[in-house]
Amino acid sequence: MRSDYGSLSDGDLVTLAVAGTDAAYAEIVRRHRSHVYRLVLGNVADADEALDLVQETFLSAHRALRRYDPARPMRGWLATIALNKCRDWARRRTVRRFFTFARDIDDVAGAMPDDRPDQAVVAADRQELARLRRAIAALPASLREPLVLHAIEGMSQAEAASVLRITGKAVEMRLRRARIRLGEMLGR
């Protein structure tokens, strides 16, 4: 019989998962997948790529469970792994840029609104959101990562500093610079 894993701490779940209890690791994934997805999507701005990177994040985390420090929050540990996956993806992205550009052109052509005003508003909102995601993804990692952790994931500046292994003051400065750069990129 399966016990209720939902009431266990992340550290207890890791102990069980390391011992071979697959359901314990499934609970870790269930608890943290939406957080990891939002973090990754904020860094890559492509939903399909984000799903792939989330899967890679959890696969890497599973392989590294024995090295997890229960004194450290699971959310921060997974965020570190996810950011590393995003950095790897960015390095590989050069080859993909042409294909992504071609796909973006198709998406814009397919999002042309019909005569109904509601559709026009929905399409405009989608385009603005896509534009914002592309702008965030175009920021240098040093600005993008603190912005996504703090503004999208809702981490405090101290939590973001811990994940990124920088000072809280550095996070504050990078957030300000990221917002200024986004304003310039978006013409605001």
Q: What DSSP string runs through 51-67?
A: HHHHHHHHHHHHHTGGG
What are the structure tokens assigned to 99, written together?
Answer: 């294909």
Label residue 1 by pLDDT band (50, 70, 90).
Answer: very low
Percent of the chain with pLDDT over 70: 82
pLDDT tens digits for range 59-104: 999 999 999 998 889 999 999 999 999 988 887 765 555 455 545 5
pLDDT of residue 126: 79
Q: Domains of the chain: which residue ranges?
A: 5-138
128 versus 8: the higher-pLDDT residue is 8
Residue 13 to residue 60: CA distance in whole angstroms? 16
Residue 18 to residue 15: CA distance in whole angstroms? 5
Beta carbons of 147 and 155 less than 8 angstroms apart = no
CATH code for the part of the protein at 5-138: 1.10.1740.10
Q: Is the pLDDT of residue 114 over 70?
A: no
141 versus 115: the higher-pLDDT residue is 141
- Burial label for 113, CB within 10 Å (0-12, 13-18, 19+), is middle
pLDDT tens digits for range 170-181: 999 999 999 999
pLDDT of residue 102: 47
92 versus 33: the higher-pLDDT residue is 33
pLDDT of residue 83: 93
Beta carbons of 161 and 168 less than 8 angstroms apart = yes
Percent of the chain with pLDDT over 90: 57
